[in-house]
Amino acid sequence: MEWFQLAIRWIHMITGIAWIGASFYFVWLDMNLTPPEKDGYKDKAGVGGELWAVHGGGFYEVQKYRLAPPEIPQTLHWFKYEAYFTWISGFILLTILYYFGADIYLIDRSVADISTDAAILIGVGSIAGGWIIYDQLCKSPLINNQMVFGLVLFALLTLAAFGLSQVFSGRGAYIHIGAIMGTIMVANVLMIIIPGQTALVSAAKKGEAPDPVYGLRAKQRSLHNNYFTLPVLFIMISNHYPMTYGNSYGWLLLAGISLVGILVRHFFNMKNQGRAKQGFILLPIAFVLFFAIAYAAAPKPEGVPTEKISFSTVEAIVHERCTSCHAAKPSNTDFESPPKGVRLETPAQIAREKTRIKQQTIDTKTMPLGNLTQMTDEERKILGWWISQGASTD
């Protein structure tokens, strides 16, 4: 099963890089096109913009037609399967890890004591509902004001993050916000961009004037996808950083870090339009915002009792709450080997992992996973005091 997960995760990364790379390139390309000479032969042929580039030891000339070329070439390259396979592989991973392993990764009994079936229904419902709400927003008058549209969408996604954090583990809430955004992105490709391009090609082959609305909608949704990319990429790596999803205000941290990504993406879009000087202020704002979030999220020191915490007390807590997973041969049947290779069976192993224990068990409470072993807040405090006193095993 772990080899299968590895294969699917690798596919997810490969196709995701291909999809996001194509998205970045075409948005860059569209923003760097320059109109051809007025009344020149290119202008008369319907070329709306052109661009010259050098790469890989050669020169490239790219032209974009205002509607369609006089004749559709026999070979026409489409960009869609990288999007489809990114979503398919991502949903398989979501199912394997968070739905089959709901009791470990998705449900946290200290947050909400819900059944596996209820958790899965909420998860799938949030993904489907996210697309439906977004699509309806795109069909509403809000779409005529991109700034207002963006603010409303950002507020709704933040609200979704808050709501999901009330029923799922922090990690489960994060991954579902990522799944909502990823589904919106791929649905844009499947249901808006590709059908629009198909209609343009069909009209051009029939010698009819294509309806420009298809191109406008496709460009609009492509730009939305462009702004989703950096927040989605953050969520993809966030499981390595429990100080984000494990924070009691994890949903707010997600909103703030996503805003950092949006500001960075907007700067590069402005740069691509030749407005780097006007947009440069966005980078220091993003930098300051990121470190303000980091400072606000940092755990605050608590008082440490003068009485020394005995290691025997610490060892008893670790063996009861942690060693069922973190052992050479875990007694928890969900694991064939200790997660991330962390073993907590001997005094030396426990002392060596004091930094991880502090971060994941005390500061963020993300361990034990889903709090399956029901570690109490008092036990977490004892472990924290022991570490603050030097983590002695004497």
Question: Tell me: the pLDDT tens digits for 100-115?
Answer: 999 889 999 889 999 9
Total domains present in the chain: 3
Q: Tokens for 179, please give them.
A: 């799944």
With a cut of 90, say whether residue 274 has pLDDT above it.
no
- Residues 58, 184, single domain; the answer is no
Average pLDDT over residues 247-255: 94
C-alpha span between 367 and 322 (Å, rounded): 8
Domain boundary residue, one of 66, 89, 110: 66
Q: What is the pLDDT of residue 115?
A: 94
Half-sphere exposure of 145 (CA within 13 A, CB side): 6
Amino acid letter for position 27: V
CB 259 within 8 A of CB 154: yes
Which residue in this structure is represented by tokens 């963006």? 150
3-state SS, 153-164, equals HHHHHHHHHHHH
Q: What is the pLDDT of residue 249?
A: 94
Domain boundary residue, one of 271, 297, 323: 297
Whether 59 maps to a domain, the answer reads: yes
With a cut of 90, say whether residue 263 has pLDDT above it.
yes
- Residues 250, 124, single domain; the answer is yes
With a cut of 90, say whether residue 230 has pLDDT above it.
yes
Q: Which domain holds residue 366?
A: 311-388
C-alpha span between 322 and 334 (Å, rounded): 14
Q: What mean pLDDT, rounded, does the chain reach? A: 91
CB 178 within 8 A of CB 160: no
Query: What DSSP element (H or E) covers 378?
Result: helix 377-388
Q: Tokens for 242, please give them.
A: 């429990």
Band (pLDDT 50/70/90 cuts) for residue 365 is confident
3-state SS, 239-292, equals CCCHHHHCCCCHHHHHHHHHHHHHHHHHHHHHHHCCCHHHHCCHHHHHHHHHHH
Can you tell me whether residue 50 is helix, strand or coil? strand
Whether 76 maps to a domain, the answer reads: no
CB atoms within 10 A of CB 165: 26
Whether 224 maps to a domain, the answer reads: yes
Average pLDDT over residues 339-360: 90
Q: What is the pLDDT of residue 66?
A: 84
Global model pTM greater than 0.75:
yes
First to last CA, the chain: 41
Q: Tokens for 82, please give them.
A: 């990288």
- Residues 172, 316, single domain; the answer is no
| Residues 151-202 pLDDT 10s | 999 999 999 999 999 999 999 999 999 999 999 999 999 999 999 888 888 8
CA distances from 44 to 38, 41, 112 (A): 8, 5, 64
Task: Name the packing angle between helices 282-297 and 250-272 (round to 10°).
Answer: 170
- Residues 326, 252, single domain; the answer is no
Whether 61 maps to a domain, the answer reads: yes
Q: Is 39 exposed, middle or buried (0-12, 13-18, 19+ CB in 10 A)?
A: exposed
Return the minimum-mean-pLDDT range out of 8-22, 315-329, 365-379: 365-379
- Residues 9, 45, single domain; the answer is no
- Residues 352, 279, single domain; the answer is no
Whether 192 maps to a domain, the answer reads: yes
Q: What is the pLDDT of residue 210?
A: 75
- Residues 261, 324, single domain; the answer is no
Residue 224, C-beta contacts closer than 8 angstroms, at least 6 positions apart: 184, 185, 188
Band (pLDDT 50/70/90 cuts) for residue 13 is very high
Q: What is the pLDDT of residue 300?
A: 79
Q: What is the pLDDT of residue 205?
A: 85
Q: What is the pLDDT of residue 175?
A: 97
Average pLDDT over residues 126-136: 97
Band (pLDDT 50/70/90 cuts) for residue 366 is confident
Compute the C-alpha angle 8/14/20, nearest 5°.
125
Average pLDDT over residues 1-11: 91
Q: Would you list the DSSP string of 338-359?
A: -GGG---SSHHHHHHTHHHIII
Task: Report which of 131, 123, 128 is spatially closest to residue 163, judged by C-alpha positions.
Answer: 123
C-alpha span between 228 and 185 (Å, rounded): 8
- Residues 130, 186, single domain; the answer is yes
Q: What is the pLDDT of residue 136?
A: 96
Task: Report the percentage of the chain scoring pLDDT > 90.
Answer: 63
CA distances from 125 to 121, 131, 218, 350 (A): 6, 10, 26, 41
Whether 302 maps to a domain, the answer reads: no
Average pLDDT over residues 245-265: 95
Task: Report which of 352, 368, 378 is spatially closest to residue 319, judged by C-alpha positions.
Answer: 368
Q: What is the pLDDT of residue 132?
A: 97
Query: What DSSP element (H or E) covers 61?
Result: strand 58-65
Whether 394 maps to a domain, the answer reads: no
With a cut of 80, say whether residue 336 has pLDDT above it.
yes
C-alpha span between 76 and 201 (Å, rounded): 10
Task: Report which of 49, 54, 44, 55 is spatially closest to residue 32, judged by C-alpha positions.
Answer: 49
Whether 72 maps to a domain, the answer reads: no
CB 9 within 8 A of CB 93: yes
- Residues 123, 209, single domain; the answer is yes
- Residues 233, 141, single domain; the answer is yes
C-alpha span between 335 and 134 (Å, rounded): 38
3-state SS, 78-106, equals CCCHHHHHHHHHHHHHHHHHHHCCHHHHH
Q: Tokens for 286, please give them.
A: 């993003």
- Residues 156, 227, single domain; the answer is yes
- Residues 315, 256, single domain; the answer is no
Q: Which residue has the higher pLDDT, 155 or 274?
A: 155
Amino acid letter for position 347: P
With a cut of 80, say whether residue 277 has pLDDT above it.
yes
C-alpha span between 81 and 277 (Å, rounded): 37
